[in-house]
Chains A and B, each alone.
Chain A
Amino acid sequence: MNKTGFVLAALAASLMSTAVYADDINIKIGVLNDRSGLYADLSGEGSVIAARMAVEDFGAAEKGINVEIVSADHQNRPDVASTVARQWYDEEDVDVIVDVPTSSAALAVNELSAERGKVFLVSGAATSDLTGPACNATTIHWTYDTWALANGTGSAMVEQGGDTWFFLTADYAFGHALERDTSAVVEAAGGEVVGTVRHPFPGQDFSSFLLQAQASGASVIGLANAGGDTTNSIMQAAEFGITQAGQALAGLLVFITDVNALGLETAQGLVLTESFYWDLNEGTREWSERFAEELGTGNMPTMVQAGVYSSVLHYLKAVEETGSKDAEEVVAAMKEMPTDDPLFGPGEVRQDGRKIHDLYLFRVKTPEESEGPWDYYETLSTIPAAQAFRPMEDGNCPLVQ
């Protein structure tokens, strides 16, 4: 009798606990990015804050989803990124890794995520290979990519008459991808690439490379680099009188934090492509002000940080929808459900893992046009989602062939 009573009690207890358990899903999100190097301002702690805001805005706790966020610095090195990701996946039960700027690091994490069957939401990295040859069933590339940048800024420059190009390329996966995708756009539009120089990453003095670009006589100098490399290139091009002498600079990947670092005096007139700007509409302004208050450095959010918010939000919606955290199931749901949030507007996730939304072609304002701090961009045009990203059939992604 005693024995039976004990068994029954144990059974009841276990039933009760499973009943509670079935409603509660524990999710662990790992924000992996640069927290100390040249991409720390455009991703870094801001991305962690963006992820936290997504969890709060979604109201995860009330919906029975317990979310824990961890973060780490990958120092822009693929080996460090792999080591952290492996530890997170294998030992700390991390379910999803987000952000990961620096394409070489993102490609490493992408491979590992495919092996371990975990979700990878890329916001910071640029290479279009993530939805091309390297695409993976549980990876989603959220904010932008090299093809979209090339298509936006590259086409605009060729339209303005820039038909001969010289590239200053950061010598790693990202720079190579950006150079390749932009060359394709330039050549398709009837332009010509007259030369290219690959500089060490990260660099400081670009005058030597800029002089080579000047000697080439190209009408456009394409900067296939990012962060501090881009700001240094732009500053030094002005110093050496290269822009004044008539050659145009195409900053293929310029973030708002770069414009802030350059100052409007130097940055004015730059044409650039982004998928997010804090001052686009009521929704982006409201979110960005909350973000800036949380961050506390006076910086407004970059598109990378906005992308982290948006991707985590959509991920949590899919977890709620499926009631599961199985990677394949959740990503399938993410691809099925249309995306919508105040930052990027309506959009969708394609079968190859590319998230598509509108892109914007901006021009940096002059100091006179700017009405206050961080009032930097004037919208030149909106590139509709359907045309902004590489068509799925051109990507050579094995998932859609």
Chain B
Amino acid sequence: MFELLGITPQALFGQLLLGLINGSFYAMLSLGLAIIFGLLNIINFTHGAQYMLGAFVTWALLHYFGLSYWWALPLAPLIVGASGIVIEKLFISRLYHLDHLYGLLLTFGLALIIQGVLRNNFGISGLPYSIPPQLSGGQNLGFMFLPNYRAWIILVSVIVCFGTWFVIEKTRLGAYLRAATENPTLTGAFGLNVPLMITLTYGFGVALAALAGVLAAPIYSLNPNMGAELIIVVFAVVVIGGMGSILGAIVTGFGLGLVEGLTRVFYPEGSAVVIFVIMAIVLLIKPAGLFGRTA
């Protein structure tokens, strides 16, 4: 079979693994988007910029304060998450009673502003950031050389995705959140502080994006456009998975990473569009997405 495809099994395994690594980023980013959409009903177009901010804060912590990658790992998501909370309180909270379109325009505008300001100050070519020494080097798996840092990305991503899914689906806090999603008025009548939950959820979704940014800082060109390029794909992932579905976001994120990885081997020219082709097909057959519920 492998001979038929014109590729050795070794090469195929290597490419599948790489697809999984890219899928880790898609999963983490689409997870944040799905949570925010589920609870706030806001399509958060600032997500890409917040991912980029995570990477920039990581760089800034090292450059201005001498704080290493290991400090940035908790600090950058906290800082960017806090900025998300401010944005929610100041702007987004005023839009809940309006049409989706307003939230979309607001968050899209914010993203453009953040990118523009950073571009003016840091240019577009990118800033250098090295892989932390503890994670440099790599393992020879026989079929490919796997850099330790890439293995680390998969590990962090799986833990974070599973943890988030567990909290939302299996704990009391998660039950409150799901109740607030389902019927905010009734949930509030039971004495739960729904506005606070919404604010914190937005902050958490943003922090997830920033964490993905920290992970990306040492391996991708760290520039103000890094999020804009990724976010469109991530939106497609969320749409395919089903808007607002936590499990859908995670599974589709990893799955589409794999599909994209395979396309890069068999038809590299098409690797930029394959996800959108799948999106079109899924929307035709199952408009609510693979894991979505029709209202």
Render B128-152 as a binary contact track against A, CB cut-off 8 A, 1 for contact.
1011000000100000110101100
Q: Name the interface residues of B245-269: CB closer than 8 Å to any CB of A.
A: 261, 264-265, 268-269
Q: Name the interface residues of B200-235: CB closer than 8 Å to any CB of A.
A: 219-221, 223, 225-226, 229-230
B264 partner residues in chain A, CB cutoff 8 A? 208-209
Q: Name the interface residues of A249-283: CB closer than 8 Å to any CB of B.
A: 257-258, 260-263, 265-266
Render B267-294 as a binary contact track against A, CB cut-off 8 A, 1 for contact.
0110111000000000000000000000
Distance between Cα atoms of A204 and B14 in the complex (Å): 18
Q: Does A101 contact B (CB under 8 A)?
A: no
Q: How large is the interface on B (under 10, 10 to 19, 20 to 34, 35 or more residues)?
A: 35 or more
* B29-37, B61-69, B119-127, B165-173 - the one binding chain A: B119-127
Q: Are B147 and A260 in contact (CB under 8 A)?
A: no
Q: Does A239 contact B (CB under 8 A)?
A: yes
Distance between Cα atoms of A44 and B119 in the complex (Å): 12
Q: How large is the interface on A (under 10, 10 to 19, 20 to 34, 35 or more residues)?
A: 35 or more
Chain A, Cβ-Cβ closest to B149? A239
Q: Are B145 and A241 in contact (CB under 8 A)?
A: yes
Q: Are A235 and B219 in contact (CB under 8 A)?
A: yes
Report if A40-B119 is in contact (Cβ < 8 Å); known contacts: A199-B271, A261-B128, A265-B130. yes
Q: Are A198 and B229 in contact (CB under 8 A)?
A: no
Chain B, Cβ-Cβ closest to A205? B22
A197 partner residues in chain B, CB cutoff 8 A? 268
A261 partner residues in chain B, CB cutoff 8 A? 125-128, 221, 223
Q: Are A299 and B269 in contact (CB under 8 A)?
A: no
Q: Are A204 and B124 in contact (CB under 8 A)?
A: no
CB distance from A261 to the nearest CB of B (A): 4
CB distance from B25 to the nearest CB of A (A): 9
A297 partner residues in chain B, CB cutoff 8 A? 123
Distance between Cα atoms of A236 and B219 in the complex (Å): 7
Q: Are B265 and A228 in contact (CB under 8 A)?
A: no
Question: Given B11, B15, B21, B124, which contacts A37 in the complex, CB threshold below 8 Å?
Answer: B124
A111 partner residues in chain B, CB cutoff 8 A? none
B126 partner residues in chain A, CB cutoff 8 A? 228, 231, 261
Q: Are B269 and A228 in contact (CB under 8 A)?
A: no
Report if A207-B18 is in contact (Cβ < 8 Å); known contacts: A240-B147, A257-B125. yes
Distance between Cα atoms of A41 and B119 in the complex (Å): 10
Q: Does A38 contact B (CB under 8 A)?
A: yes
**A and B contact pairs by CB, cutoff 8 A, 24 listed:** A37-B124, A37-B225, A38-B223, A38-B225, A44-B124, A199-B271, A205-B220, A207-B21, A208-B261, A208-B264, A211-B14, A212-B265, A215-B8, A228-B124, A228-B223, A232-B220, A235-B220, A235-B221, A236-B219, A240-B138, A245-B145, A257-B125, A260-B125, A299-B123
**What is the interface of chain B, defined by CB distance below 8 A to chain A?**
8, 11, 14-15, 18-19, 21-22, 119, 123-128, 130-131, 138, 144-145, 147, 149-150, 219-221, 223, 225-226, 229-230, 261, 264-265, 268-269, 271-273
